[in-house]
Amino acid sequence: MVYPPEYFYDIADETGMLLWQIHPVWKSAMDASHMDDYRRLFDEFFRLDRQHPSVVLVSATCEHECFDAALGKWWWGRGREELPSTLLQVQTGFLEWSDTERMDLFDEHTYDNSGRWVCYLDDMEEQLNAHPPRPFVMGETIIGTSWPDTAALLENLGDERPWWSPKALDGFMEFERELLARFGDSALARLRVHGDAFSLAQRKLQCEVFRSRAQNAGWVMNHLRDVSTCQCGFQDDLGRWRFSAEQLKPFLSERALLLRTPGYAVGLMGDESVPAELGMSDFGDRPFEGVVRLRCWVETEGAEIELPRAEIKLRVEPGEVEFARFELDPSSGTHPVMVRCRAEAEGVEPNEWRLWAFPKCHDTPEGVFCDAVAPFTDAEREPDFEEKRYSSGWALACSSWKPRLPDLAGLLPATPEWRDNEAGRRIDHLTIVTTRLTERTLGHLEHGGRVVLLVSKAAGSPPTRWVNLYGQVPQIDEAGNGERDTMLGTGESAWVLDTLGLDLNRWSCRAVPTQELGLADAVEPIVRLVFTHDKASPEIWDQVFSARVGSGLLAVSTLDHDNPAGQYLLYRLIGYVHRANAPSLARGRLALDTVCGWSDPS
């Protein structure tokens, strides 16, 4: 959306770099009085574009919701005259805003969660099939956020910070001080590692899903280097690469090996055969014909055991994608088991995936009950603005993806219904799982009972909001130096991290804005999101947390539990709350008045 110096284009011409030039009129005024000036400017832009063979695609504007239709028609005709061999489109942005009759390539700019991304590409394919065939490209898309190396930045930038230094640097420094004081050194180290890993996992999965359809011809991933408002670059502000070539080449090379589980799930049900697909996306200039081999290992008790190998023969034409089916048979024990998969083929970059096999969960402990509350109303089921369309509500309308509210009958089918004074038990030995806080559950908490609340946007829940995970760095709590009681043991954050981006946020993508509510220090986080994208200071949102309320213990989850990873996490959360000494060990404490404000008045 700018014209760099001429030598930039010269270098691109000499090295073979292909450039997508967008004429720099982003969000500009479209008054009738400006039309002659626009035509003059565009003629000058065309003269610049045609001097360089590296400029292969040219757009008149970017994400302009009111670009003048007559000007676009003129631009299209003049562009055909001036650039007869160049791909053209009046608008790069959203199809809803675009003149689809005047574009050589269909195009969208969509940033979304991985669980919705799978549905988005299904819906986009259906949308494209209603038009004459054209390749689908994405002018900007797929993003992830890392946690900065705050100490190194402070040391290198000095007191006279340059204009490009991170806007939130002081906020990062203050956040780290508080994190260290409350959670210890291991929590900060884990935050940094998890930030990079979460960003890379989202980029890799979404790129591979995009490449699984032949009509999807290319994309521009955002972005190469950090900018002052967000740490979402492949390279940080000190010029250091966050990811190695070995991590990136498997999904960014001309040919990419692809693994497709049902719904692209990362979490699988252990001890069940999973129908999976192994395939290849060929962006190369010649056919591939050969054998693709898949080797898988499971980790049990510190040792890797290899599963039966899969071999498939594939022929893939240039620009095409081909898959073949096979059966994946992961085993599991009483805890999640990592399944490491590696695909190889001659002349192709090998690719690896980390899946997880989860144990089946059937029965909750004795003394756990479900609360039969009022069913969700139509108003409570109505999607929010961000839930109606992809990319935070601005892109294609959602058809395949619809938000789901928690269904206790489906999640805990064998758990009995709660009745007052159940079998004469002491209240502090009872755990109630519910989807609403009511006067009855508040009384239960006040007098020493335990409650697991599956949160939604419905009445009887703390306030929640839609979250887009590309702007978040996950803080997943696990056992450290033994001074704090935690739900997850040492090293267990790995399976939560790997399934958080897709499985645990597939049909529900919400969090409680605990910092905004003044509650971040009053709760004990289990799965916390630290929102940094375009923020002056990090913001805390929580997806799973616990806190003392009255004499009892409350645990809250906004995650999607209707999948193997979510189901296992739910049973672990219930077991954590139900332990005999759980309330006395809980460090977070919420005022009863605060929780009463969340209750359902009905």
Structural domain includes residue 602: no
Q: Would you state the pLDDT for residue 474?
A: 98
The strand pair at 472-476 and 510-511 is best described as: unpaired
Q: What is the CA radius of gyration of the chain?
A: 26
Same domain, 88 and 174: no
Task: Give Cα separations from 428 to 415, 554, 577 (angstroms).
Answer: 18, 12, 11
What 3-state DSSP class applies to 241? strand
For 524, the enclosing helix (H) or strand (E) is: strand 524-531
Q: What is d(CA 389, CA 112) in angstroms, rounded to the nearest whole number?
A: 10
Helix 35-49 crosses helix 69-82 at what angle (to 10 degrees)? Answer: 30
Q: Would you state the pLDDT for residue 423?
A: 45
* 403-460: pLDDT as tens digits: 999 999 999 999 999 986 554 467 778 999 999 999 999 999 999 999 999 999 999 9
**Which phi-psi region, left, alpha or beta, contains residue 90 (left: φ > 0; alpha: ψ -120 to 50)?**
alpha
Q: Would you state the pLDDT for residue 419?
A: 82
What sign does the CA torsion over 265, 474, 361, 295 have?
positive
Final residue of a structural domain among 308, 332, 358: 358
Q: Would you state the pLDDT for residue 37?
A: 97
Same domain, 128 and 271: no
Q: What is the CATH number of the domain that holds 304?
A: 2.60.40.10
List, in sequence order, the alpha helices (H) in 226-349: 245-252
Structural domain includes residue 251: no
Structural domain includes residue 74: yes
Same domain, 397 and 455: yes
Beta partners for 352? 342
Query: pTM of this prediction?
Result: 0.95
Q: Would you state the pLDDT for residue 427?
A: 78
Structural domain includes residue 521: yes
Same domain, 585 and 450: yes
Structural domain includes residue 249: no
Same domain, 220 and 261: no
Structural domain includes residue 243: no
Show Cβ contacts of residue 550 under 8 Å, excluding neighbours closer than 6 positions. 445, 446, 447, 448, 592
Q: What is d(CA 89, CA 87) in angstroms, rounded to the nearest whole number?
A: 7
Final residue of a structural domain among 340, 358, 376: 358
Structural domain includes residue 244: no
Same domain, 347 and 309: yes
CB–CB of 112/390 below 8 Å?
Answer: yes
Same domain, 449 and 463: yes
DSSP state for residue 450 in the 8-state scheme? E
Task: Give Cα separations from 206 to 110, 196, 406 (angstroms).
Answer: 11, 16, 26
Same domain, 44 and 134: yes
Final residue of a structural domain among 358, 390, 425: 358
Residues of the chain with pLDDT under 70: 420-425, 481-483
Structural domain includes residue 250: no
Same domain, 221 and 316: no
Same domain, 347 and 455: no
Same domain, 182 and 262: no
Tally of domains in the chain = 4
Encoded amino acid at 317, one letter: E
Same domain, 567 and 454: yes
Beta partners for 50? none
Q: Would you state the pLDDT for residue 196?
A: 97
Residue 314 belongs to domain spanning: 256-358
